[in-house]
Every structure is written in structure tokens, then in C-alpha cells.
Amino acid sequence: MHEWALSDSIAAAAQEVRQKQNLKNVAAVTVVLGEVQNIAAGVFKDIFDEVKKNYPGVESAKLIIETEPAKFECLKCGAQFGLDRSGLSHETNEAIHFLPETAKLYIKCPKCGSSDFKIIQGRGVFIKEISGEAPGPGGK
């Protein structure tokens, strides 16, 4: 359940930004989740809603999750390609989501047919934006 650790570090980062920018409170945190990142967005959201209560000024922050599409690069021919889910079953999609390594069992380079590729995008988790309510005039 690394959603806990993730939520905690995001709430902490939001609080830090709030202090640095002297915001009244954090209104929203936009987090980008890679398509083949082992994070369940729904669980992550629920846990964040719990964790944020421990961070003053972040309690009312809304978590916005954006997905970054996966991108692969073939190690044989250098072709870059995305995750084509059209031919994949629901089970396979789930497997790739939670165990990105299994992608190699299902995905092949569309150009040369090799399953020797690396994931060059879509594995990361990062904070894209932290927005908050600025203090009113003279409210510093």
C-alpha cells in the first residue's frame, strides 16, 4: 500500500508550498500518475482525504489526478510507441497497470515485433500544480 506514503509526501509538499507562498490554504493539488504506475487512483484519493487532515492548511485541498500516457521505446529498432489497449482484455490491462513488468508479455514493438523495450514515459508520479487561496490585502 504505497498509496499511504505517496499521499503523505504529497500532503507534506503541499503544506511546504503553502508556507513558502504564504497561502491561506491549499485549494487543489494536481498529481500526474503514469499510465503504467502501480497506483490505484481511487484508493489514492481516499487515502489522501484521510492523510491531509494531519496537515494544517491542506485539510480542504482537492486532489486532482491526471494520467500520463505510457510510452515505450524498442531496444532493437528504436521505434517509440504507446500502449495500445484496444487488443487487450480487461484482465491484461489490470495486470499491466499493477505490474508494469508484465507489459513485456503482452506488448510487442509494432515495427519489428520485438518485446525488448523500455518504458520511457508513464511510470512516474509527480506534482504538477499546487494552488491555493492567496491571503487577502494586508493579510500577510
Beta-carbon-side half-sphere exposure of residue 84 (alpha carbons within 13 Å): 9
Q: Which is nearer to Zn ion, 50 or 116 (CB)?
A: 116
- Does residue 118 bind Zn ion (CB under 5 A)? no
Task: Determine the interface stretch with Zn ion among 9-17, 62-70, 73-81, 84-92 (rule: CB under 5 A).
Answer: 73-81
| Binding-site size, Zn ion (CB under 5 A) | 8
**Cα→Cα distances 28→34, 53, 78, 106, 126, Å:** 19, 14, 39, 37, 14
Cα 93 from chain centre: 17
Gap between the Cα atoms of 84 and 72, Å rounded: 11
CB of 83 to Zn ion, least distance (A): 15
- The correct pick among 24, 53, 76, 85 for binding Zn ion (CB under 5 A) is 76
Using DSSP, state whether 21 is helix, strand or coil.
coil
Selected binder of Zn ion within 59, 89, 114, 126 (CB under 5 A): 114
Q: Provide the binding-site residues for Zn ion, judged by CB under 5 A.
A: 74, 76-77, 79, 109, 111-112, 114
